[in-house]
Structure 1
Amino acid sequence: MRHVFLIGLSGSGKSTVGRLLAQRLGRPLLDVDALIEQEYGERIPAIFARHGEEYFRTLEARILAHAVQQPDDAIIVTGGGIVVRSENRTLMAQHGVRIFLYVDPQDSLARLQAQHLREQQHGQTPEIRPLLSGTDPLANLQRMLADREAWYREAELICSTQGKHAEQVAGEIMTMLDDLTALERVAPIVRHVNVGAGYDTVVEWGGLQRLAGYLQKLQLPPRVFIVTDSNIHDLYIPSLLPQLTAAGFEPCVYTVPAGEGSKSQQQLSAIYDWLLEQHAERREALIALGGGVVGDLVGYAAATYLRGVPLIQIPTSLLAQVDSAIGGKTGINHPRGKNLIGAFYHPRLVLADPSTLLSLPERSRTEGWAEIVKYGIILDAELFALLEANADLLRDFSRPPIALLCQIIARCIDLKVMVIEEDEREQGRRAILNYGHTFGHALENASGYGEWLHGEAVSLGMVVAAALAQAAGLFDEKDVVRQNQLLMALGLPTTYSGSVRAHDILAAMQLDKKVVGKRVRWIMPRQIGEVVITSLPDDLVERIITAFMGEK
């Protein structure tokens, strides 16, 4: 492994993250600014004041050139302006891996001011940084970022520090470094969807950092309208806006509250109002940045605003990357049922960046495995076996196997695309994609959209469906056990505890979209990798669901 160079604005956390990386990886830590002060015998502000910036940059370049000659691969923390000189950028590229720690200038200033205050409280003489000494330090930081960002983004890896503590940032970087060699071998996985005008789905680790390039290929007008949620906004919007602006786009952003409650007529109307206020035009794209809720809501807005505007899906949850962002289903919930209001509307592009999963809470990431297990049960016994063999590694996720994760996500996308190319509007075979969803949707509805995440409800729905299939003589007990053990191994629920009653579930199922002639059509497994669509006797369904809910 080569040297690791941390680059970015002052206040991005380079020093703190560098110390954590050095400790965890057992590597030496070299701080270029500290080495300069040690050799020169003065603090950096004094060097600047006495000799000027040009002298300091020459000194900095010499110290960096010496540091890269160290025999042991080190974590090298650099000053914010080290990228100003081209010879420094070339040297770092030749001798190691550059990691750009992105921070919004406003957050950078807040961190620097907090550090200054801590030093004062501990009786230290605070370092007065040149960029903080002026009348408008925020403007100084904003100008520096604007001047240097193109050089920062030459880095091999980019890690946003927005809304993250140093330990989380260090963990993300360790994951990136662990799999860097594999990552260099994993090209973006592209699957073209042959439905309507056709579009590409792309699975690419770090692809979000290259969004501008993908949008340029689509030859869209410069104004783009990004809708995200309150959890996602601070993680990605601050780094996306400069990227898009530098590429000539004019991004506008709207944020909805996070959670299933936003899939509502109220939030849909709010998006319409915003688009009208912005005078959004028919050729201008609407970008859904978020999980399944954002994708469904924004997709429906794109389908209906001006009778259809270009849609870009950027799913940031595992569930959305393998399922809800693929296939053109869009919609909102109705108080009487999930996804009852919507439209089939395909995007111009789906960009799935699995690195976004690193920022998810464990529960939100875990729920996505339910949809992946579903694909194994309904279509792909080999995928199911792959999940069984790697369940512990995939669930842990402290250092996810990048190549394997990209492969699994791309395989799920391929399976879903094969089905929708055959049956775009769910008139036949596409219904198999709803395995586990009949009970799952009913549970979400009866519990008020929030007690259970979608993937958790689907996991319970698959347990119920397998029990029904076994009771009907369709599914072998050993396969029921395999399914449920895999769900548990991936951290998903397989037993029910809650206040919803069986009769509430049975009533809610009558609003399921698969009901034909007042009969629910069930997706029933025959063996792992194969399912059938069939109706079942009412008394059998009532008996199995009542028992599952813990009732007599």
Structure 2
Amino acid sequence: MRHVFLIGLSGSGKSTVGRLLAQRLGRPLLDVDALIEQEYGERIPAIFARHGEAHFRSLEARILAQAIQQPSNAIIVTGGGIVVLPENRALMAQSGVRVFLQVDPLISLRRLQAQHAHEQQSGQVVEVRPLLSGPDPLANLQKMLAVREAWYQEAEYTCFTQGKQAEQVALEIMTMLDDSTSPEQVTSMIRRVHIGAGYDAVVEWGGLSRLATYLKQLQLPPRIFLVTDSNIHDFYIPALLQQLTAAGFEPQVYTLPAGEGSKSQQQLFALYDWLLEHQAERREALVALGGGVVGDLVGFVAATYLRGVPLIQVPTSLLAQVDSAIGGKTGINHPRGKNLIGAFYHPRLVLADPATLLSLPTRSRIEGWAEIVKYGIILDAELFSLLEEHANALRDFSQPPVALLCRIIARCIDIKAGVIEEDEREQGQRAILNYGHTFGHALENVSGYGEWLHGEAISIGMVVAAELAQEAGLFDEQDAMRQNQLLAALGLPIAYTGKVRAQDILAAMQLDKKVVGKRVRWIMPRQIGKVEITPLPDELVERVITTFMGEK
């Protein structure tokens, strides 16, 4: 890897992120502004004030040319205006890779003002930055971004910094720069899902930055209705609004409260009201940006508003990318059970960007591995072995294995797409996708939605299912141990701790969607990579679940 140049507006965090990158990657750190001040003996604002911008740009270009002659592999932090001169842009492109730290001008201004105030409080001699002078510094920054943005966008990589700590931004850049990952390995993988008119499920690292391009390909009307949640909003909405507006779209945004509680009748009707207030039309698309809660709820709205409007799924959680965004299941919860009210309704596009997983809390990311282990158990022994081989790296995520992660997500999408193409409405084989869900859904319901994340409950549900299969003489003990060891290695729970009673779980399971003739049809593993659908004796189910939950 050659030099890494950090570019972007002043206040985008280049200096802080540069220090973190240099420390973690063990590379030299060069700061162009600091080198100028060191050589000239004056602060940047003073140089600007005394000699003017043209002189400063000439000086900046000379220092940049000197910097790239330094030891290779340096992290080079640049000033916000380094891109103004074409020779600087050409020099950076020739001698390294550029990373554009994208930031909203308002956030940039707040950071610069805070830095200025800190310097004053610490007794430093402070020169007023040209950016902060004048009656409207925000307008200065906005105008500056408008002039420079096309040059910033020439960068090989773009990192959205909105709402992110410097450590997270550094991690994202480290992942982008992973020397073991060639561009060919992480190009988009597309699975055409052949149901109805068909739709593409795309897995693309960094694909969120190309959402507008994908929407253009669908030839949608310019007005789109984007729904997200309160956890996701600050990470992605500001940059997406800028991207979509620049592409000619007219995005409208609705932000849900984060959490399973939003899969409710109350939020369903709130979204209907929002669409009606905007007089949303039948050809105008709904975009679901978020995890499974957002995808399920917005999908149901799309299926029912005006008897159906275009739906775009942009899943940002691992669980949603490999499972809930694929297959057309939409719906809300009922107080008596999970997903009891809903419809089958397929999107026009699924865009899964694994880079969004970097913004997830650890627990929220880890829960998604449950659904991936499920695919290994029900249909793909090779996938299961791959997870066993790389469990530590997949759980740790300090330097995500980008190509492997994209490959795993794409494989899971391919598995699910293959199943639903044969059985769209779960009349037969599709039920195997619910391995671990009979107990898991009951646990979520009885314990109160939110105490257990969905993936955590499914992990415990798979442990129970494997134990039932063992007791029924269907599943080998060694395979059950492999399943449970893999779940634990990925950070998932394999034992129950809590106050829920077995009888409450058994009662809740009678509302499971796989109940036929008041008997639960269980998804039972026969070996890793193969399951069957079968009823089980009530006595066996009650005994195993009661014992598992620590009751006599």
Superposition TM-score tier, normalisation by shorter sequence: over 0.9
Change (3 A) 1:100 1:184: farther
Aligned partner letter, 2:287: I
State how many pairs are aligned: 552
Q: How does 1:79-478 map to 2 (within 5 A)?
A: 79-179=79-179, 181-478=181-478
Work out the CA distance in 1 between the residues paired with 2:149 and 2:224.
21
Work out the CA distance in 1 between the residues paired with 2:233 and 2:19.
28
Per-residue deviation, 1:123 = 0.7
Q: Which runs of 4+ in 1 moved over 3 A?
A: none
Work out the CA distance in 1 between the residues paired with 2:185 and 2:405.
14
1:488 aligns with 2:493: no
Per-residue deviation, 1:164 = 2.0
Aligned partner letter, 1:292: G
Query: 8 Å contact 2:168–2:358 — kept in the other structure?
Result: no
Work out the CA distance in 2 between the residues paired with 1:492 and 1:127.
53
Query: 8 Å contact 1:183–1:402 — kept in the other structure?
Result: no
Work out the CA distance in 1 between the residues paired with 2:190 and 2:348.
13
Query: 8 Å contact 2:181–2:402 — kept in the other structure?
Result: no
Name the stretch that deviates more: 368-377 or 165-174.
165-174
Give 2:497's aligned residue.
Answer: 497
Work out the CA distance in 2 between the residues paired with 1:479 and 1:102.
48
What do the CA deviations read for 1:396-435 (whole angstroms, capped 9, x no partner)? 1101111111010000000000000000010110000000
What do the CA deviations read for 1:166-222 (whole angstroms, capped 9, x no partner)? 222222222221257434432211000000110000101111111111111111111
Per-residue deviation, 1:480 = 0.7
Give 1:57's aligned residue.
Answer: 57
Work out the CA distance in 1 between the residues paired with 2:514 and 2:117.
62
Change (3 A) 1:97 1:296: same
Give 2:5's aligned residue.
Answer: 5
Work out the CA distance in 2 between the residues paired with 1:515 and 1:76.
62
Work out the CA distance in 2 between the residues paired with 1:89 and 1:288.
37
Give 1:520's aligned residue.
Answer: 520
Work out the CA distance in 2 between the residues paired with 1:42 and 1:180.
42
Work out the CA distance in 2 between the residues paired with 1:25 and 1:470.
48
Query: 8 Å contact 1:4–1:99 — kept in the other structure?
Result: yes
Aligned partner letter, 1:114: A
Work out the CA distance in 1 between the residues paired with 2:405 and 2:292.
19
Per-residue deviation, 1:83 = 1.6
Give 2:535's aligned residue.
Answer: 535
Aligned partner letter, 1:471: E
Aligned partner letter, 2:491: G
Per-residue deviation, 1:257 = 0.6
Per the alignment, in what secondary structure is the counterpart of residue 398 of structure 1?
coil
Aligned partner letter, 1:128: V
What do the CA deviations read for 1:21-56 (whole angstroms, capped 9, x no partner)? 122222221111122222333222222222322222
Give 1:44's aligned residue.
Answer: 44
Aligned partner letter, 1:198: G
Work out the CA distance in 1 between the residues paired with 2:314 and 2:258.
16
Per the alignment, in what secondary structure is the counterpart of residue 178 of structure 1?
coil
Work out the CA distance in 1 between the residues paired with 2:407 and 2:146.
37
Per-residue deviation, 1:59 = 2.1
Work out the CA distance in 2 between the residues paired with 1:375 and 1:270.
35
Work out the CA distance in 2 between the residues paired with 1:404 and 1:183.
13
Work out the CA distance in 2 between the residues paired with 1:51 and 1:435.
71
What do the CA deviations read for 1:320-347 (whole angstroms, capped 9, x no partner)? 0000000000101010100011111100
Query: 8 Å contact 2:5–2:96 — kept in the other structure?
Result: yes
TM-score (norm 1): 0.98
Work out the CA distance in 2 between the residues paired with 1:523 and 1:318.
23
Query: 8 Å contact 1:444–1:451 — kept in the other structure?
Result: yes
Per the alignment, in what secondary structure is the counterpart of residue 255 of structure 1?
strand
Give 1:549's aligned residue.
Answer: 549
Work out the CA distance in 1 between the residues paired with 2:121 and 2:186.
49
Work out the CA distance in 2 between the residues paired with 1:512 and 1:179.
47
Query: 8 Å contact 1:175–1:398 — kept in the other structure?
Result: no
Aligned partner letter, 2:334: H
Per the alignment, in what secondary structure is the counterpart of residue 231 of structure 1?
coil
Work out the CA distance in 2 between the residues paired with 1:492 and 1:5.
39
Per-residue deviation, 1:152 = 1.5
Name the stretch that deviates more: 539-548 or 82-91.
82-91
What do the CA deviations read for 1:319-377 (whole angstroms, capped 9, x no partner)? 00000000000101010100011111100110101011111111000000000000000
Work out the CA distance in 2 between the residues paired with 1:254 and 1:189.
30
Work out the CA distance in 1 between the residues paired with 2:62 and 2:277.
54
Work out the CA distance in 2 between the residues paired with 1:290 and 1:23.
33
Aligned partner letter, 1:488: A
Name the stretch that deviates more: 78-87 or 409-418.
78-87
Query: 8 Å contact 2:46–2:127 — kept in the other structure?
Result: no
Work out the CA distance in 2 between the residues paired with 1:86 and 1:18.
23
Change (3 A) 1:377 1:5: same
Query: 8 Å contact 1:201–1:351 — kept in the other structure?
Result: yes
Query: 8 Å contact 1:460–1:494 — kept in the other structure?
Result: yes
Query: 8 Å contact 2:33–2:79 — kept in the other structure?
Result: yes
Per-residue deviation, 1:236 = 0.7
Aligned partner letter, 1:29: L
TM-score (norm 2): 0.98
Per-residue deviation, 1:64 = 1.5
Query: 8 Å contact 1:179–1:401 — kept in the other structure?
Result: no
Work out the CA distance in 2 between the residues paired with 1:518 and 1:147.
67
Name the stretch that deviates more: 420-429 or 106-115.
106-115
Work out the CA distance in 1 between the residues paired with 2:440 and 2:147.
51
Work out the CA distance in 2 between the residues paired with 1:119 and 1:430.
62
Per-residue deviation, 1:126 = 2.2
Query: 8 Å contact 1:5–1:77 — kept in the other structure?
Result: yes
% identity of equivalent residues: 82
Per the alignment, in what secondary structure is the counterpart of residue 242 of structure 2?
helix
Work out the CA distance in 2 between the residues paired with 1:65 and 1:181.
29
Aligned partner letter, 1:84: V
What do the CA deviations read for 1:484-532 (whole angstroms, capped 9, x no partner)? 0110010000000011110110111111111111111100011110100
Which runs of 5 or more residues in structure 2 are unaligned?
A: none
Work out the CA distance in 1 between the residues paired with 2:148 and 2:327.
40
What do the CA deviations read for 1:237-291 (whole angstroms, capped 9, x no partner)? 1111111111111111110011000111111111111111112111111100000
* Aligned alpha-carbon RMSD (Å): 1.2
